[in-house]
Chains A and B, each alone.
Chain A
Amino acid sequence: KNQVEQSPQSLIILEGKNCTLQCNYTVSPFSNLRWYKQDTGRGPVSLTIMTFSENTKSNGRYTATLDADTKQSSLHITASQLSDSASYICVVSYFNQAGTALIFGKGTTLSVSS
């Protein structure tokens, strides 16, 4: 069964600290993996997209890694800011008869405090 599991479920860190969020998936055939940031009351906004051949991708203070062999991904946030408080969702795309489809993780809720 295609699944995306994220950990931790929630995380509280102090402003300025780094953190790493985890994503494990059992999705095939794999197309790509995305990380989205969802602020409360808003729609998800894309942070990174990685295909099978990409190991790492950065977007400012966000760095995502992908190990396609172990089917694991991580999102590292450097020097956290209060505005980083949000839900971070790991989304895996796979090939199907219609082209591609998305499987969403439940997200990690990050709270950055001062």
Chain B
Amino acid sequence: SAVISQKPSRDICQRGTSLTIQCQVDSQVTMMFWYRQQPGQSLTLIATANQGSEATYESGFVIDKFPISRPNLTFSTLTVSNMSPEDSSIYLCSARTGGYGYTFGSGTRLTVV
């Protein structure tokens, strides 16, 4: 199955700044996804990133706050903009890797102070 490298693994950021998270897949994938996992909560889909088109955002998430890039079939970035302490969370990328398979990155633990 595919392997996804996600970085950074963790970061502590000042409020008002932005952080860009990167995910690299070791094979070409059509669909990539970005999730947020808050403490004690289930994973929540932020957006679906398809190569060559605008990302599709879920209710409650907007492009200005979470801009996404998908320049090719193996790479995607998520930026958390103008951060506040409420953005402290684990952010995960995922890719649909054929059949019913979904592979996840190792996550980015973000703390905003």
| A65, CB-defined interface residue at 8 Å | no
Residue of A89, A101, A102 ringed by the most chain B CB atoms within 10 A = A102
Contacts of A36 in B (CB 8 A): 104
Question: How far does the Cβ of A61 sit from chain B's closest Cβ, in whole Å?
Answer: 20
Complex alpha-carbon distance, A89 and B90, angstroms? 15
Complex alpha-carbon distance, A93 and B99, angstroms? 12
> Is the beta-carbon distance between B102 and A98 smaller than 8 angstroms?
no
Query: Would you give the 0/1 interface string for B38-53, flagging 1 where the beta carbon is closer than 8 Å to chain A?
Result: 0011111100100000
The number of residues on chain B lying at the interface, defined by a beta carbon within 8 Å of a beta carbon of chain A, is 23
> Is the beta-carbon distance between B100 and A42 smaller than 8 angstroms?
no
Dominant SS among interface residues on chain A: strand
Residue in B closest to A6 when the chains form the complex, CB atoms: B42
> Is the beta-carbon distance between B41 and A98 smaller than 8 angstroms?
no
> Is the beta-carbon distance between B100 and A32 smaller than 8 angstroms?
yes
> Is the beta-carbon distance between A106 and B40 smaller than 8 angstroms?
yes
> Is the beta-carbon distance between A93 and B106 smaller than 8 angstroms?
no
Interface hit among A14-22, A43-51, A70-78: A43-51
> Is the beta-carbon distance between B42 and A104 smaller than 8 angstroms?
yes
Contacts of A106 in B (CB 8 A): 40-42
